[in-house]
Amino acid sequence: MSHSPQTGGIVAARLDSAELAAHFDDLYPAFDDHEARVAADRCYFCHDAPCVTACPTAIDIPLFIRQIQAGLPEAAARTILAQNILGGMCARVCPTETLCEGACVREVAEGAPVEIGRLQRHATDGLLLANEHPFERAPATGKRIAVVGAGPAGLACAHRLAMLGHTVVLHDARPKAGGLNEYGIAAYKAANGIAQAEVDWLLRIGGITVQTGSALGGAITLDALKADHDAVFLGIGLAGVNALRIPGEDLPGVRDAVDFIAELRQTADLSTLPIGRHVVVIGGGMTAVDAAVQSRLLGAERVSLVYRRDRGAMAASDYEISHAATEGVTVLTNAMPVAITGTGTVEAVEFAYTREGATGLERTGETFILPADQVFKAIGQTLAGAPEGLTIDGGKIAVDAAGRTSLAGVWAGGDCATGGEDLTVTAVAQGRDAAEDIHAHLTGAAG
């Protein structure tokens, strides 16, 4: 490792640009045509394929793999994209080990599933990187729909509506469209600008106007959108971040992991991004894992990921946790933070050991201290600024199976809505299905 001459604290350029470029390149290289066909040969093409059932977007996985096997990757891409228009990013970020690949017959029998995710990437990248759009708009319906939130749910909804002939105005509070895929996913999972390339490709369907810097409750209101449009879809995500509510949380050097990841994703030169020598990440989900791994890749010498319950309760998959460990992250469980200490800046985090008791999680009475010059909080996100009149259930917008909210003419999907699993692929499914229901409602075909 090439370190900067600085020796402590949160500093930039712990590693040189060449090392950073290598660390943040694609985690898995793409298949070439021969490798893809060899991988496709392992598929049994099950008639009642459990992998399809396990896919939230219900892609016909045996069909697209057979198309790859037959040397027809473009046909395979169309099979995928007809169900999941963000199939390129989903191929990179889906927890396939717990979804399609986890259900694969070869995984059950041999512990080595068909590499469905990499095969999906192989197919979709062909169209994506060539910037060829396989779908066309239906004749214009004259209907105008507002979609708020240009993340996976909003993009999927907007694309399907546009394809069905509607005019869509897509609003997003951030400077770029893409949502979680652009701002919230580890950089090594979405290398080489693939998230924005996919957005640009998706918009080639036509009929979608993107308005960035347009936040609900700011420049736009739900009442105004309802008045000016035939329907509204909300895919606003979870913008609020839970607090630790412990002493020292406001010390310099303590920040939200989601902000760190977003900053990393938008930084053109990673050597300018400061990182601590001793980093502590508090949480047990994918955001926590991504923050921890990327801290190591930026040059942090010691990174500890600490979760208050046992490993089985962690929201991150076993695969992702194991990957973090291979990158040098120390994973500690059954420990909750009780104080962050330091003089002027963070210097340590005190934890209490925990166990499951008769009334839930309880402290054992033992504590320990981890030195830290940087702390990332990743203990969950919350709905922020939900418009009045919407029914909220469990901190999310209540929706029915079709995505309809409690307000007539308003649908919702993705992380902000009930029924999801906080996954990109689930958000895509909810956005797509809401678009179909909006179309049925506007054309008089709804039940």
Residue 62 pLDDT greater than 60, yes or no: yes
**The two three-digit tokens of residue 332, written as one number:** 């500690």
Residue 360 pLDDT greater than 80, yes or no: yes
Identify whether the C-beta of residue 214 lies closer than 8 Å to the C-beta of residue 349.
no
| Residue 447: per-residue pLDDT | 54
| 86 and 121 both lie in a single domain | yes
Checking DSSP bridges between strand 208-212 and strand 167-172, what pairing results, if any?
A: parallel
Residue 8 lies in a domain: no
Residue 4 lies in a domain: no
Q: What is the pLDDT of residues 242-256, one digit of tens each?
A: 999 999 999 999 999
**The two three-digit tokens of residue 113, written as one number:** 């599933």
Complete DSSP assignment for 301-342 = SEEEEE-SS-GGG-SS-HHHHHHHHHTTEEEE-SEEEEEEE-
Residue 128 pLDDT greater than 70, yes or no: yes
Contacts of 101 (CB under 8 A, 6+ apart): 51, 107, 113, 114, 115, 116, 117
Identify whether the C-beta of residue 295 lies closer than 8 Å to the C-beta of residue 273.
no
396-404 LR contacts (CB < 8 Å, sep 24+):
397/234, 402/433, 402/434, 402/437, 403/233, 403/430, 403/433, 403/434, 403/437, 404/434, 404/437
| 256 and 305 both lie in a single domain | yes
Residue 403: left (phi > 0), alpha (psi -120 to 50), or beta? Answer: left
Q: Which residue has the higher pLDDT, 9 or 184?
A: 184
Cα–Cα dist 236/93, whole Å:
20
| 45 and 124 both lie in a single domain | yes
Q: Which residues pair with 256 in a beta bridge?
A: 377
| 397 and 409 both lie in a single domain | yes
The last residue of a domain, from among 99, 130, 161: 130
Mean pLDDT computed over 275-286: 97
| 151 and 186 both lie in a single domain | yes
Residue 63 lies in a domain: yes
Q: Which residue has the higher pLDDT, 232 or 129?
A: 232
Band of the pLDDT at 130, cuts 50, 70, 90?
A: confident
| 266 and 391 both lie in a single domain | no
Structural domain of residue 183, as residue ranges? 144-239+383-442
Band of the pLDDT at 5, cuts 50, 70, 90?
A: very low
| Residue 255: per-residue pLDDT | 96
Cα–Cα dist 305/52, whole Å:
34
Residue 42 Cα distances to 36, 50, 62, 107, 235, angstroms: 10, 15, 11, 11, 38
Residue 407 pLDDT greater than 90, yes or no: yes
The last residue of a domain, from among 356, 377, 398: 377
Q: Is 223 exposed, middle or buried (0-12, 13-18, 19+ CB in 10 A)?
A: exposed
Average pLDDT of the chain, as a whole number = 94
| Residue 446: per-residue pLDDT | 63
| 96 and 170 both lie in a single domain | no
Band of the pLDDT at 272, cuts 50, 70, 90?
A: very high
| 167 and 249 both lie in a single domain | no
Residue 166 lies in a domain: yes
| 148 and 212 both lie in a single domain | yes
Residue 3 pLDDT greater than 70, yes or no: no
Residue 1 pLDDT greater than 50, yes or no: no
Contacts of 24 (CB under 8 A, 6+ apart): 187, 188, 191, 270, 297
The last residue of a domain, from among 100, 130, 160: 130
| 42 and 100 both lie in a single domain | yes
Strands of the sheet containing 278-282, edge to edge, are 254-256, 374-377, 278-282, 302-306, 329-332
Report the candidate in 5, 59, 10 with the shortest Cα–Cα distance to residue 301: 10
Number of domains in the chain: 3
Q: What is the pLDDT of residues 42-59, one digit of tens each?
A: 999 999 999 999 999 999
| Residue 106: per-residue pLDDT | 95
Percent of the chain exceeding pLDDT 90 equals: 89
Band of the pLDDT at 8, cuts 50, 70, 90?
A: low
CATH number of 212's domain: 3.50.50.60
CATH number of 52's domain: 1.10.1060.10
HSE, side-chain direction, 13 A CA sphere, residue 92: 25
Residue 7 pLDDT greater than 50, yes or no: no
Q: Give the torsion sign (CA, 181, 185, 186, 189).
A: negative
Identify whether the C-beta of residue 346 lies closer than 8 Å to the C-beta of residue 246.
no
Residue 138 lies in a domain: no
Band of the pLDDT at 276, cuts 50, 70, 90?
A: very high
- In 61-180, the DSSP E strands lie at 144-148, 167-172
Residue 110 pLDDT greater than 50, yes or no: yes
Residue 135 lies in a domain: no
| 371 and 394 both lie in a single domain | no
Residue 422 Cα distances to 180, 199, 430, angstroms: 10, 20, 11
Residue 365 lies in a domain: yes
Mean pLDDT computed over 33-37: 96
Residue 266 lies in a domain: yes
| 166 and 214 both lie in a single domain | yes
Q: What is the pLDDT of residues 314-349, one digit of tens each?
A: 999 999 999 999 999 999 999 999 999 999 999 999
Percent of the chain exceeding pLDDT 70 equals: 98
pTM: 0.94
